[in-house]
Amino acid sequence: MNTLIEIKDPGILGSGISKLVTGIGGLDHVGDGGLPRGRTTLVAGSAGSAKTVMAAQFLVQGIAMGEPGVFVTFEEKPEDIRRNMASFGWNIARWESEGTWAFVDVSTDVENERLEVGQYDLGALMARIEHAVRKTGARRVSVDSLGAIFSQLNEANVVRHEIHRICQVLKELEVTAIITSERVEEYGPIARYGVEEFVADNVIILRNILEEEKRRRTLEVLKFRGTTHHKGEFPFTVRPESGMVVMPLSAIELKQKSTMLRVSSGNDELDAMCQGGFFRDSIILVSGATGTGKTLMVTEFINGGAEKGERCLLFAFEESREQLFRNAIGWGVDFEKMEREGKLKVVCEYPEVMALEDHQLRMRRIIDEFKPNRIAVDSLSALERVSTYKGFREFVLGITSFIKHSEMSGLFTSTTPTLMGGTSITEAHISTITDSIILLRYVEILGEMRRGLTVLKMRGSMHDKSIREYVIDNQGMHIRQPFRKLSGILAGHPTQIHEQEIERLDKMFERDPLGPNNGGRG
């Protein structure tokens, strides 16, 4: 996936300033159509924030659209850039031979401390850039980076004057340019000299934030002079197959279609509690403590789809492939046979192997390639460990909205923080966007641990609201009658109810036919 958001025709946006589609995934959405055409954008970031990758990808995507580019390098030698960018599949040497990419190499001058900023030397540098632009017919220019140009200067007014000169020359060349600049702090001064952001028409900040011992990259458009852009920080990642990809939550639109068609949960008793099963395009959350049968419900959900000829996709983040297949066989379900028939794909990965943004892109790519009817994720709770609170929320919203837009059935599991229940962070993030919530709880009765299940929520449908006991054997899950003499099960404090109280409640429900055991709108 080269782009996350497709901008078909940004045109002239309100202000009269035309936008240039960058082709960098998600960036064009954040920029309300791209970067202001014919202007220079300052890209400021700390070490490891992907400034050079963005500068190179800006030219790569331009070449793909028939727009040649010039890369001005002050720090890395051209051969190093060619080698580093080859990891993304970008063949810069070929583009150079074709005349669509040109280097202006100033790294040797900087290395030998021969570069001096002044009327003559800066003029000579700009002449070299102009020559490369004329020779290639370049429409895009990347300059990496300002820090190397002005490293010997201490006067802010001189830096300001020279940056203005560079931007003016690039504007006269009628190119759209990116200039990178280093910053020392993630939330401190915008750039090293404190004046760069005032001279440039546009400023983008890249951050490589360390929170809770976890790294997270974000992009923020600080300003686009004279035109609009989306506000705030947006997560992004850098992937070998796609380069830089920005993932803006603002790209999510509430335009999902709805259907009245039902699909089986894979369990006849649960289907009956849900008035015939789940809606085909619904998101279902199954919440419970360890050992309550969440993975079993995933197995039955997949088996129910495969029996109807549907394609099923399982993302597992806690158990290996061998464990999942062994467990399924123990319940009478043959995952291996489903795979041979093309009805199942199982993807197992430890959450710690990559950041959540990378997990999301990988999951989306696999979904696009396999095109399943049903998707199960076991479990979301495992993914909480590899991100911050905000990052996890953005991941949950991003992947669930993608599944709903694709009109697939999605079942997610969540592990509660305590044995007897409680709300997990996962539930707090996903409960409002799920169509159905199923709670699995342990119930302690006279020194014996039993299990209870309830359909807490089912949007747009009648459903059984009772808390039913269930048992698990080698044939799967069997849902039985409701608990009749207990209260406080969901709170984790079950207490016995006297027969007199049960009789009183029964009489009350006889007068009120819409009592909790007779259903209601979810």
Residues forming the active site: 75, 318
Q: Locate tokens 């669509």: which residue?
A: 100
Q: Locate tokens 């006849």: which residue?
A: 268
Q: Locate tokens 């197995």: which residue?
A: 299
Whether 34 and 25 have beta carbons less than 8 Å apart is answered as: no
Instruction: Say how many residues make up the chain.
Output: 522
Residue 483 is classified by DSSP as P
Token pair listed for 123: 């003029």
Whether 286 and 470 have beta carbons less than 8 Å apart is answered as: no
Beta bridge mates, 472: 477
* Nearest one of 255, 258, 242 to 360, comparing CA atoms: 242
Q: Locate tokens 């379900």: which residue?
A: 333
Token pair listed for 408: 């697939």
Q: How far apart, in Å, are the Cα atoms of 140 and each of 71, 127, 163, 176, 227?
A: 9, 16, 18, 5, 20
Q: What is the DSSP string of 22-50?
A: --SBTHHHHTTSSEETTSEEEEEE-TTS-
Give the whole-angstrom CA distance, residue 202 versus residue 183.
16
Burial group, residue 164, by CB count within 10 angstroms (0-12, 13-18, 19+) = middle
